[in-house]
Structure formats: C-alpha cells, structure tokens
Amino acid sequence: MATRNPLRRKGKARDAYLELVLEFPLVSIRTERQLQEAQDFMDRLFAQGKLNYGEESYLDALSDLVATYEDEHHAIEPAADADMLRHLMESAGVTQAQLSREAHVAKSTLCEILAGKKPFSRGIIRKLAEYFDVDVSVLASNP
C-alpha cells in the first residue's frame, strides 16, 4: 500500500516548484559564486511579490541551502556582553542611571560590564532579560 506524502505538491504549486528546480536546481552550495547566484535567484523571487505554495516551498528549500553554507563559511560570533548591553540600552533609549534604577542593578556593575571588565552573572542576566523583555538565552549565549 502506498503512503501519502503530506508535503507532495499538486497542480499549479507542483508545476511552479518543478519549474524553479529546473531553472535553479536545489543542490548544496559549495562556493562563494554559487552562494551569490542563489542569493540573486532568491532576490528575484522575492521581487515577484506574492508567491504561490510551490514557489514558497522552493524558496524555503533554497534558503536552507544558503543558510547551511553561510553558517559554515560566514559564521557570526556572538556579541560580547558589553556590546550586547550597549545595544539593548541604545535600542530602549535608556541611560546607565535609568537602567540601574529601574532594573535594580548597581551602577558600578553596569559600568564594569560596559567597560568589558565584568561578564554577565546569572542574576544580572535575569534582571536585564526581564527589564528589556528578551529571553534569557539572548544574554546567556554571549562569550
């Protein structure tokens, strides 16, 4: 008995997907040139505006191939604690004094973190995550 594949495309969506595969095959990206060609092709699809299911499925698959290559060859290092705190403060438009008062973190602690002399502690991570309304993993993943 044959099993049904819920991911199987039908009709126009299948045709659109297969046309794109024929035009730009879904294969592993191995060079910078291939990466650029894939990005250009994705840009062309995005420029079309609304995509049908087949086009969206194809774009998802090509995006995964691009992300895999970029993760391996263009990895972005996590931000240092000082940089992350500075970014959060700038984004929220708060000063050190305001953050100290409202998040209940000593000014000296904030100064040491911003100077790169002190890393986030668990307690500081918890307070900052709550104050800036971000997940603790955003702050805990820094070096």
* Residue 19 contacts residue 57 (beta carbons within 8 Å): no
Q: For 112, how many CA atoms within 13 A lie in the half-sphere containing its CB?
A: 11
Global pTM exceeds 0.95: no
Q: How confident is the model at residue 40 (pLDDT cuts 50, 70, 90)?
A: very high
Residue 140's pLDDT is 84
143: pLDDT strictly greater than 80: no
Residue 78's pLDDT is 76
Higher per-residue pLDDT: 11 or 39:
39
pLDDT for 58-89, tens place per residue? 999 999 999 999 999 988 877 899 999 999 99
CA neighbor of 87 nearest in space, from 76, 72, 99:
99
Concatenating the DSSP letter of every residue in 22-89 gives: HHS------SHHHHHHHHHHHHHHHHT-S--HHHHHHHHHHHHHHHHHHHHHS--PPPPHHHHHHHHH
Domains in the chain: boundaries:
11-73, 81-140
pLDDT for 98-116, tens place per residue? 999 999 999 999 999 999 9
Query: Could you tell me how many residues make up the chain?
Result: 143
Q: Cα separation of 104 and 99, whole Å?
A: 8
- CATH homologous superfamily of 81-140: lambda repressor-like DNA-binding domains (1.10.260.40)
Q: Cα separation of 131 and 69, whole Å?
A: 36
